[in-house]
Amino acid sequence: MLNKKGQASEAMTWIAATLIIIVLLGISLYASSILSKLKIIDYETEERTQDIVMEESLFSYFSIKEPTVQNKIFENLEKMNREEKFYKDFNSKFKQIKFNLEKNE
């Protein structure tokens, strides 16, 4: 083993690279924790961009061909609309999904 200096310098390179990676990960974790503390979301006042429950239920309504099941789904959706469980306007979303599905057929 005449080349021990070469082995030591290669090990030092890997140790330095590992330390640099650890420091960068630590900085990114610290920065993300600071940013998460600064951003406060008020879920009561912020409107949702999509009402997934309503959309999925409407897609189910239009995909089912049996009238009794369709009526049951629609009754549940109307009940939820009366109770104001949806963020978006139910009637406009109903027309929009119906139009899009008819256009794609």
For the chain, the average pLDDT equals 80
pLDDT band (50, 70, 90) for residue 2 = low
Residue 43, pLDDT score: 55
pLDDT, one tens digit per residue, over 11-67 is 888 999 999 999 999 999 999 988 888 876 655 554 554 577 778 888 888 888 888
Q: Where are the domains of the chain?
A: 1-40, 52-104
User: What does the buried/exposed string (b/e) look like for 68-94 if buried means 16 or more CB atoms within 10 Å of the residue's CB?
Assistant: eeeeebeeebeeebeeeebeeebeebb
> CB neighbours (10 Å) of residue 58?
21
Higher pLDDT, 89 or 24: 24
Give the rounded percent of residues in the chain with a pLDDT score beyond 90: 17
